[in-house]
Structure 1
């Protein structure tokens, strides 16, 4: 049996919507993008949504819109996808990492203040695997030190912490729509904000620095080709109309894994903080005990047709980050310990009970073989 790591949930409605655009005369910079942006803005409760071609682009435009530049410091987590950090490295700002909470795997908020200096410009909060942080607490720290707050919610569309939607209690938030995310636009991302300046600058910079109103070949500022297409938007519109259905499907898959794995020796199932009143699952990540060879377990699963990945390799140990920043192994012990133990198991809406049982069976076999 082959069980992929992820698979998008595409229905005939999405196919029809994309075909409709293909039959039209407008494939880019058209009404579908506006409609998609309006749906996202309404869903999260923000004034503005600016669609772009990836979550990375969304984060980069937020960083530029906030004026983060050479020599500035941005506080964030080392346990994340590299795009979180790349987006301000592009502007030659410096990442200042804060180790993670060993349960939620999110940045340890209690350790933020000790990392603040007179060069700190912003806090980049990240909602790991879909689990949001306590953004009220982060904003209190930011207000105390006059810092900007960015929320990387690329993995957390629809999640809520004490009723506050992920990506909303900040200067600007970002979501992403790669095919393994809750909803997909094939490739894509979006910025959400109540700040008109951030919205206007992002709209301009996503399209080569063009003015919001003006002639096509006028360019007011340095910009990029981060545009979102009508095809992506058409797919996203239908997916947004199905968002609550999709979140419930993913929650059911997580529950099935939890039920089957909660009593399996050597496995720790994901911890969700009680304040998270709504969890929008991105992926399902287990942790293995230290006496189990994680890499051999993963290879056994792969050899048996099961997709899996070690989410995440610590950012501060990526070769180019080490070279650019001077961080080294041992700097963030919780992150490094967790990263050696994690496995993302196959997780998608239409995974069958038979597939889940097969994954669990092979995982049990691997643990018995490679426990020390």
Structure 2
């Protein structure tokens, strides 16, 4: 490719190369490595971890000025599906949207008797994140709340049979904080009763169960690329499936609800664009403008996807760092079991830890509130385990639902548990400072005043 244009000025390709070289220089200057100063530097519970190539990809995409889904989105979907070991990966604009699309596509009339209809029940957990449950409510379905096991913080599979009724049609639950739920038990239950299974993997990218990646057990799976997650594209999410029909339906709900499956910039891939007759439309109505679902526009921009392509190359290293930080923290807190309940991986799983969940024992000489306040004063970030017991949240007062038992463990999570970070941006010195701070909390009551 010529370095100059016909008029002797640098070519577009040459200029692009210069711009990207400058971006690399900019990264080195604008984002230097900073030393950790215990007690003064923040220890976040999560955050973006990026390098010069992530910014280069972002700027490279911006120079195309192709603002919607484009070449980077296509590349990411292809590479991400290969990474997960599934046939289809469908990018959307957030993990929450991924959950909405995944569940909504199961309401399609094109699924015949298998479609979810108003009043059907979906089994989920009470101690979860709102947007795992919200699509159930928004589709006029009935969530059936079961309790969680402590300290895996995942679904108590012994309650599955009690949760089932003649209206049960699906299960939609998340792998909590990167710790897989018991996929053997849940998958067997779903298969036995012919139920749809959606795995919310938004916190669990890179986790596995029985040597098989999470997200490959259910009919559909979802992932989030928010900055706090395992890889990021700022905002963004993905729907995964091995089933071509579900991929087409999910794509429809993501793309305005249209019946057409042509990619952007293409048309007539069905070979009969002007030969369709659906609904009460006139025969020959343009298939690109026929809508078979009540859909949305939930596509991701190509600039976001470009960051995702770069981040995906670092996924294995990110997961390894999370596991290393988790193990260091867990070993460092092992002598504090009189005060804290440490997390436990689900048997048969290899978690890809999103955070380190810890619960203050009810008989400890301090409360959960004391603990998080103490850590916050030492600039250590903490988070609740999502919404605690969702049924105690204002948004869920009065929603149609069923609950199994008294949800005692969900209340325990709400009252006693929190989590701290293990994300790749934490250094050994930061993790050691967290360990020291937990010990200080138990030794010096005056420090909690």
Question: Normalization by structure 1: what TM-score?
Answer: 0.94
1:244 to 311, 316, 323: 316
- Is there any run of 5+ residues in structure 1 with no aligned partner, and where? none
Q: Is the 8 A contact 1:154 1:174 kept in 2?
A: yes
Residue deviations 1:35-82 (CA, integer Å, cap 9, x gap): 111111101111111010111111111111111332111001111111
> RMSD of aligned C-alpha atoms?
2.0
Rounded to whole Å, the distance in 2 between the matches of 1:174 and 1:78 is 19
Does the alignment pair 1:354 with 2:354? no
Q: Is the 8 A contact 2:99 2:200 kept in 1?
A: yes
Deviation at 1:326, TM superposition (A): 6.6
Residue deviations 1:297-317 (CA, integer Å, cap 9, x gap): 111221222211121322122
Q: Which residue of 2 aligns with 1:273?
A: 346
Question: Normalization by structure 2: what TM-score?
Answer: 0.78
Q: Cα distance 1:285–1:350, how it changes in 2: closer, same or farther (>3 A)?
A: same
Q: Which residue of 2 aligns with 1:120?
A: 168
Find the structure with the greater CA-based Rg.
Answer: 2
Q: Cα distance 1:216–1:231, how it changes in 2: closer, same or farther (>3 A)?
A: farther
Q: Which residue of 1 aligns with 2:261?
A: 212
Deviation at 1:204, TM superposition (A): 1.9
Q: Is the 8 A contact 2:146 2:159 kept in 1?
A: yes
Q: Which residue of 2 aligns with 1:320?
A: 395
Does the alignment pair 1:129 with 2:203? no
Residue deviations 1:86-107 (CA, integer Å, cap 9, x gap): 0111111111011112231110
Q: What secondary structure, in the 3-state scheme, does the structure 1 residue paired with 2:238 have?
A: strand
Rounded to whole Å, the distance in 2 between the matches of 1:209 and 1:268 is 47
Q: Cα distance 1:329–1:296, how it changes in 2: closer, same or farther (>3 A)?
A: farther
Deviation at 1:330, TM superposition (A): 7.8
Q: Which residue of 1 aligns with 2:43?
A: 3
2:358 to 274, 286, 291: 286
Deviation at 1:219, TM superposition (A): 4.1
Alignment of 1:1-372 (within 5 A): 1=40, 2-67=42-107, 68-210=116-258, 211-213=260-262, 214=267, 218-221=289-292, 222-264=294-336, 265-276=338-349, 278-291=350-363, 292-312=366-386, 313-325=388-400, 331-368=406-443, 369=445
Q: Is the 8 A contact 1:322 1:328 kept in 2?
A: no
Q: What secondary structure, in the 3-state scheme, does the structure 2 residue paired with 1:133 have?
A: coil
Deviates more, 1:315-324 or 1:253-262: 315-324
Rounded to whole Å, the distance in 2 between the matches of 1:338 and 1:329 is 17
| Structure 1 runs of 4+ with >6 Å offset | 326-330
Q: Is the 8 A contact 2:124 2:143 kept in 1?
A: yes
Rounded to whole Å, the distance in 1 between the matches of 2:71 and 2:324 is 35
Residue deviations 1:158-205 (CA, integer Å, cap 9, x gap): 111111210111111111111111111111111110111211111122
